[in-house]
Amino acid sequence: MLDRLKEAEKRYITIEEELADPAIFSNQEKFTSLMKDHKALTPIIEKFREYNKVAQDNASAHEMLDEQPDAEMKEMISEEIKDTKAKMDSLLEELKILLLPRDPNDDKNVMVEIRSGAGGEEAALFAGVLYRMYNMYAASAGFKVSLMNANETGLGGFKEITFMIEGDGAYSRFKFESGVHRVQRVPETESQGRIQTSTATVAVLPEAEDVEIEINPADIIIESCKSSGAGGQHINKTESAVRLTHKPTGIVIECQEERSQFKNKDKAMKMLKTKLYDIKLTEQNEKIASDRKSQVGTGDRSERIRTYNYPQGRITDHRIGLTLFSLESFLNGNIGDMIDALITADTAEKLKSAN
Instruction: Give the SS3 label for residue 15.
Output: helix
The pTM assigned to this predicted structure is: 0.71
Residue 210 pLDDT level (bands cut at 50, 70, 90)? low
CA 205/CA 201 separation, integer angstroms? 13
Instruction: Give the SS3 label for residue 194.
Output: coil
How confident is the model over 80-87, as a mean pLDDT? Answer: 94
Q: What is the pLDDT of residues 36-46, one digit of tens each?
A: 889 889 999 99
- Cα–Cα–Cα angle for 159, 110, 178, rounded to 5 degrees: 60
> What confidence score (pLDDT) does residue 285 get?
64
More confident residue, 263 or 199: 199
Which range has the top average pLDDT, 125-134, 148-157, 247-256, 275-284? 125-134
> What confidence score (pLDDT) does residue 237 get?
46
> What confidence score (pLDDT) does residue 299 get?
43
Per the CB < 8 A criterion, the answer to whether 77 and 65 are in contact is: yes
Using alpha carbons, select from 98, 158, 107 the residue that is nearest to residue 130: 158
DSSP string, 130-191: HHHHHHHHHHHTT-EEEEEEEEE-TTS-EEEEEEEEESTTHHHHHGGG-EEEEEEE--TT-S
CA 282/CA 204 separation, integer angstroms? 12
Angle at which helices 71-98 and 28-67 cross, to 10°: 160
Q: What is the pLDDT of residues 292-344, one digit of tens each?
A: 344 455 444 567 899 999 999 999 999 999 999 999 999 999 999 999 999 99
CA 117/CA 201 separation, integer angstroms? 6
Q: What is the pLDDT of residues 53-79, one digit of tens each?
A: 999 999 999 988 888 778 888 889 899
Tell whether the model's pLDDT for residue 99 goes beyond 60.
yes
> What confidence score (pLDDT) does residue 236 get?
42
Q: Which domains does the chain have, with CATH numbers?
A: 2-98 (no CATH), 105-207+306-355 (3.30.70.1660), 218-289 (3.30.160.20)
Contacts of 15 (CB under 8 A, 6+ apart): 34, 37, 38, 41
Per the CB < 8 A criterion, the answer to whether 91 and 51 are in contact is: yes
Contacts of 67 (CB under 8 A, 6+ apart): none
More confident residue, 239 or 158: 158
Q: How many CA atoms are closer than 13 Å to the CA of 213, on its beta-carbon side?
A: 19
162, 254, 257 from 232: Cα distances, Å: 20, 18, 15
Angle at which helices 2-19 and 28-67 cross, to 10°: 130
> What confidence score (pLDDT) does residue 302 get?
60
> What confidence score (pLDDT) does residue 293 get?
45
Q: How far is CA 132 from the centre of its chain?
A: 17
Share of the chain above pLDDT 90, in %: 47
Tell whether the model's pLDDT for residue 248 goes beyond 80.
yes
Residue 229 pLDDT level (bands cut at 50, 70, 90)? low
Tell whether the model's pLDDT for residue 351 goes beyond 90.
no
Angle at which helices 71-98 and 336-354 cross, to 10°: 100
Q: What is the pLDDT of residues 126-178, one digit of tens each?
A: 999 999 999 999 999 999 999 988 899 988 899 999 999 999 999 999 999 99
> What confidence score (pLDDT) does residue 270 get?
86
> What confidence score (pLDDT) does residue 144 get?
96
Residue 238 pLDDT level (bands cut at 50, 70, 90)? low
> What confidence score (pLDDT) does residue 36 get?
84
How confident is the model over 181-190, as a mean pLDDT? Answer: 85
Per the CB < 8 A criterion, the answer to whether 35 and 19 are in contact is: yes
> What confidence score (pLDDT) does residue 232 get?
41
137, 235, 324 from 268: Cα distances, Å: 25, 19, 37
**Would you tell me how many other CB atoms lie within 10 Å of the CB of residue 91?**
18
The 3-state secondary structure of 32-81 reads HHHHHHHHHHHHHHHHHHHHHHHHHHHHHHHHHHHHCCCHHHHHHHHHHH
Q: What is the pLDDT of residues 22-37, one digit of tens each?
A: 989 888 888 988 998 8
